[in-house]
Amino acid sequence: MKNIELSFVGHVASQRAFSQNDFYNQKAMADLRYPIEWYPRTRATPRKIICHVGPTNSGKTYHALKRLEESGNGVYAGPLRLLAHEVYTRLNAKSLNCNLVTGEERRSPPAGDAGLLYACTVEMVPLNHEFEVAVLDEIQMIGDAHRGWAWTQALLGVQAKEIHVCGEERTVPLLREIAAMTGDSFEVNTYKRLTTLSMDTAPFGTDWSKLEKGDCIVTFTVKDIHLLRTRIEKQTKKKVAIVYGGLPPETRAAQARLFNDPDSGYDFLVASDAIGMGLNLSIKRIIFETTTKFNGVDMVPLTIPETKQIAGRAGRYRTAAQDNEAARKEKEGGANTSATPKNDSKAPKEEPSGGIVTAFRYQDFKRIAKCLQTDAEIIRAAGLFPPSSIIERFANYFPPGTPFSYIMVRLHDISRVHTRFRLCSLKDQLTIADVIHGVEGLSISDRITFTAAPANFKSPSDRTALISMAEFVAQQKDGSLLNIKGLPFDILDQEPDGSREYLFGLEQLHRGIILYLWLSYRFAGVFTTRNLAFHAKAVVEQAIEDTLVRFSTVAEYERRLQAKEARAQAREKTRQEFKERLQARKEEDARRGSEQLQEEGEGEEEEEREEEDYGREILDGADEGSVDILDGAEEGADIRPVKHEEQPVPIAADGAVEVKELDLKEGENEKRPEAEEDETEVDASALDNPLVEFDETEEDQVREEKEDGEQKEEKEAKGQ
């Protein structure tokens, strides 16, 4: 649909507005084959390009940063604000005044003196400054389809006598050709990994009990990250840190610190590919949950470089915290141990540990092993994007009201580029251009600025906020932060509940504040409440961190455990009070019962006498057979009271207890006094459970058979 719309706009514009000469001028302006000519001042001075290449965790950046420190006048450019902030902190810890320059933040040295060192994101490299040394980190990003243009711009345009580029070895052929185009000298320094990296002996599976301190599970969706975190915390009862791109950089750094701190209780990390760069993590083992991710259109497998970048995080030699601590010690006069270079005799005494890589499933395990053993394809072209001056001049050929997205597409379509360069994707720029298309009063320059903004459209409110800010610029009104529509400040008044929706709302508010700060440095006269925005940013970041920590499953488990212990203590107290009352009652009953025992004893003696008299009466009226049956005595023998043996209680086949009749004469069993009843207790559980059986000895069986035989003979005799 979008292609049809742009095609129609192009058809109408070509029919009504453009002459043949206009077409010729547009093509001439879209000739981007010689980007080295865009920076004439830089071409006036020969430069020296020094490549530091090697795998992840090889110490390649160390040498470049050492040269930057020695120069006292240089610039560091990295892909992320986290990296720029890390270098800024490190240099200032060594009393080297350094400025921080990123899209949404500017910081001067703490001492307030004007520093000659800069730590920047790569898009913010000052091309109009002259430096002794420039360091371009992660140079392999020069081939990125979206941001590669920023590394190309910095490499071609920075005015520095020495340019130290750090990255993967697959960039060397392209960089050598670019150096030949610019007339700069070129040399390569290759480094090897400081620690070993190997595959585990087998796939991990899903047995969470096998997790070890320092493990990092990698997955690629926010939903899966939170799901895995919850599952691991419930199974292991240990805390899990999380890192993904949607979190603010400060929150990611805070989570990394928790994971790196051995005493924090955060033993595991669940992260996306955001750990691939910008964070120094003490990871022992990388566990891939999957090796596919969504690229915005479809699910695609990880590339070889992506797999190596993530896997290489395992076995990190030193963390940024260790480097900064070493820098502070060096400032105080200690040994220079700010980092550990390859083949340096000053390496620390501690032994580095190797990294291990594995995956949940066998298919992913095999694929990762193959990727680690395969060389990545070399980078053949650098990303390119036309400068703002060219875009603005090109837009002047189109009539007012022409969609800016069409102008961008038109320039992209008719552009010509060198074989060693390629135009970067316009996806993000076109999306922003279409969102603010309906805002009247914006100049071409304003629209160019907005299309470069770090806008994200994960929710309708993000679009509302961008449109609101564009309207303030178009109308030149005072754009206070609190007047921007679409920023959900009301979420700060809500009671934190730990839900994904609550966390998403905080992330959305943070994105809007970052966009406001970014625009405040481009439209300072419109967005005037920058200090308020920084304060709100800090509040939101703290709320996000508190949410991640407070609503951890383990934290919830600990709270429940404390509540359970409190309830147990209350029950124990109640039980103790009951025991005390019961003991007092027993003592009272014992005192009262002492008198009753004497009376009961006298009653028992009287009962025994009555029973003896009763037995004599029975014997006096009995016949010979009765006497024989009564006690089995021979004729003429003295009559003795009957003594009964206790027999095991047998269980019938249906589970009922069989109660044997006493060996008394027929009819006398009913006349026996209740006091003479057998008081042998039977286990109640045996009565309820038909599976319970009582043991019966052979002696018992023989006696029962003998008694049955005697009774049978007696009955036969009576019948005769």
Average pLDDT over the chain reads 81
pLDDT at res. 697: 47
Residue 311 lies inside a defined structural domain of this protein: yes
Task: Report the range of poorest mean pLDDT among 220-224, 347-351, 407-411.
Answer: 347-351
- Range 671-676 average pLDDT: 41
Answer with the one of 190, 222, 249 that is the final residue of a domain: 190
Q: What is d(CA 517, CA 520) in angstroms, rounded to the nearest whole number?
A: 5
198 forms beta bridges with 356
pLDDT at res. 350: 44
Residue 464 lies inside a defined structural domain of this protein: no
Q: What is d(CA 132, CA 161) in angstroms, rounded to the nearest whole number?
A: 5
pLDDT at res. 191: 94
Q: What is d(CA 267, CA 233) in angstroms, rounded to the nearest whole number?
A: 10
pLDDT tens-place string over residues 468-498? 999 999 999 999 999 999 999 999 998 887 7
CA angle 377–380–385, rounded 5-degree value = 130
pTM of the predicted model, to two decimals? Answer: 0.72
Task: Give the tokens for residue 324.
Answer: 């900064």
Answer with the one of 137, 160, 190 that is the final residue of a domain: 190
pLDDT at res. 580: 84
Q: What is d(CA 239, CA 255) in angstroms, rounded to the nearest whole number?
A: 11
Residue 1 has pLDDT above 70, yes or no: no
Task: Report the range of poorest mean pLDDT among 346-360, 396-410, 677-691.
Answer: 677-691
pLDDT at res. 84: 92
Residue 636 has pLDDT above 50, yes or no: no
The answer to whether residues 58 and 150 belong to one domain is yes
pLDDT at res. 111: 62
DSSP classification of residue 347: -
Q: Which domain holds residue 234?
A: 197-338+350-378
pLDDT tens-place string over residues 346-395? 333 344 568 999 999 999 999 999 999 999 999 999 999 999 999 999 99
Buried residues in 44-56 as b, exposed as e (16+ CB within 10 A)? eeebebbbbbbbb
Q: Model confidence at 340, in pLDDT bands (50, 70, 90)? A: very low
DSSP classification of residue 652: -
* CA nearest neighbour of 289 among 374, 222, 245, 228: 228
The answer to whether 459 and 508 are in contact (CB under 8 A) is: yes
- Range 452-471 average pLDDT: 92
The answer to whether residues 223 and 149 belong to one domain is no
Q: What is d(CA 343, CA 190) in angstroms, rounded to the nearest whole number?
A: 12
Residue 312 has pLDDT above 70, yes or no: yes
pLDDT at res. 635: 42
Q: What is d(CA 160, CA 155) in angstroms, rounded to the nearest whole number?
A: 10
Q: What is d(CA 527, CA 98) in angstroms, rounded to the nearest whole number?
A: 27
Q: What is the dihedral of CA 441, 530, 538, 110, to 10 degrees?
A: 140
**Count of domains in the chain?**
2
Residue 252 lies inside a defined structural domain of this protein: yes
Q: What is d(CA 320, CA 257) in angstroms, rounded to the nearest whole number?
A: 10
The answer to whether residues 70 and 180 belong to one domain is yes
pLDDT tens-place string over residues 507-555? 999 999 999 999 999 999 999 999 999 999 999 999 998 888 777 655 5
The answer to whether residues 211 and 183 belong to one domain is no
pLDDT at res. 497: 79
Identify the CATH number of the domain in which residue 153 sits. Answer: 3.40.50.300
pLDDT at res. 339: 37
Residue 215 lies inside a defined structural domain of this protein: yes
Helices 388-395 and 20-29 meet at what angle, rounded to 10?
Answer: 170
Residue 578 has pLDDT above 90, yes or no: no
Q: What is d(CA 353, CA 589) in angstroms, rounded to the nearest whole number?
A: 73
pLDDT at res. 618: 52
pLDDT at res. 650: 52
Q: What is d(CA 547, CA 641) in angstroms, rounded to the nearest whole number?
A: 85
* CA nearest neighbour of 506 among 538, 484, 483: 538
The position carrying tokens 């920084």 is 534
Based on its alpha-carbon atoms, the radius of gyration of the chain, rounded to whole angstroms, reads: 44
Q: What is d(CA 12, CA 579) in angstroms, rounded to the nearest whole number?
A: 96
Higher pLDDT, 626 or 706: 706
The answer to whether 248 and 510 are in contact (CB under 8 A) is: yes
Higher pLDDT, 374 or 635: 374
Residue 674 has pLDDT above 50, yes or no: no
Share of the chain above pLDDT 70, in %: 72
The answer to whether residues 103 and 231 belong to one domain is no
Higher pLDDT, 12 or 130: 130
Residue 267 has pLDDT above 50, yes or no: yes
Q: Model confidence at 20, in pLDDT bands (50, 70, 90)? A: confident
CA angle 439–441–442, rounded 5-degree value = 75
3-class SS string, 352-401:
CCCEEEEECCHHHHHHHHHHHCCCCCCCCCEEECCCHHHHHHHHCCCCCC
The answer to whether residues 104 and 183 belong to one domain is yes
Residue 199 has pLDDT above 90, yes or no: yes
* CB count in 10 Å sphere of residue 703: 13
3-class SS string, 663-699:
CCCCCHHHHCCHHHCCCCCCCHHHHHCCCCCCCCCHH
Higher pLDDT, 687 or 11: 11
Q: What is d(CA 323, CA 153) in angstroms, rounded to the nearest whole number?
A: 30
Residue 11 has pLDDT above 80, yes or no: no
Helix (H) or strand (E) holding 564: helix 553-620
Helix (H) or strand (E) holding 294: strand 292-294
Q: What is d(CA 73, CA 130) in angstroms, rounded to the nearest whole number?
A: 9
- Range 102-119 average pLDDT: 83
The answer to whether residues 203 and 330 belong to one domain is yes
Higher pLDDT, 435 or 712: 435
Distance set, CA 334 to CA 331, 337, 516 (Å): 7, 8, 43
Task: Give the tokens for residue 177.
Answer: 């050709």
The answer to whether residues 204 and 98 belong to one domain is no
Distance set, CA 456 to CA 213, 433, 485, 487, 508 (Å): 35, 13, 15, 13, 9
pLDDT at res. 486: 93
pLDDT tens-place string over residues 21-39? 888 888 999 999 999 999 9
The position carrying tokens 């086949």 is 653
pLDDT at res. 712: 65
pLDDT at res. 665: 43
Length of the chain: 720
Task: Report the range of poorest mean pLDDT among 13-17, 68-72, 238-242.
Answer: 13-17
Residue 400 lies inside a defined structural domain of this protein: no
Residue 207 has pLDDT above 60, yes or no: yes
Higher pLDDT, 107 or 620: 107
* CA nearest neighbour of 327 among 339, 316, 319, 317: 339
Dmax (CA) for the chain in angstroms is 153
Residue 402 lies inside a defined structural domain of this protein: no
pLDDT at res. 611: 60
The answer to whether residues 177 and 220 belong to one domain is no
One DSSP character per residue, 593-641 reads HHHHHHHHHHHHHHHHHHHHHHHHHHHHT--HHHHHHHH-PPTTPPP--
Q: Model confidence at 622, in pLDDT bands (50, 70, 90)? A: very low
Task: Give the tokens for residue 515.
Answer: 């966009």
pLDDT at res. 144: 94
The answer to whether 696 and 650 are in contact (CB under 8 A) is: yes
Residue 403 lies inside a defined structural domain of this protein: no
SS3 214: coil
Which distant-in-sequence residues (6+ apart) come within 8 Å of 628 by Cβ? Answer: 714
Higher pLDDT, 348 or 153: 153
Residue 168 lies inside a defined structural domain of this protein: yes
One DSSP character per residue, 402-455 reads --HHHHHHHHHHH-EE-TTEEEPP-HHHHHHHHHTTT-TT--HHHHHHHHTS--
Higher pLDDT, 414 or 108: 414
The answer to whether 368 and 359 are in contact (CB under 8 A) is: yes
The answer to whether 668 and 618 are in contact (CB under 8 A) is: yes
The answer to whether 461 and 446 are in contact (CB under 8 A) is: no
pLDDT at res. 225: 92
Tell how many helices (H) and how many strands (E) occur in the chain: 24, 20
The answer to whether residues 174 and 255 belong to one domain is no
* Contacts by 641-646, CB closer than 8 A, 24 or more apart: 641/615, 644/678, 646/678, 646/680
The answer to whether residues 155 and 218 belong to one domain is no
The answer to whether residues 259 and 186 belong to one domain is no
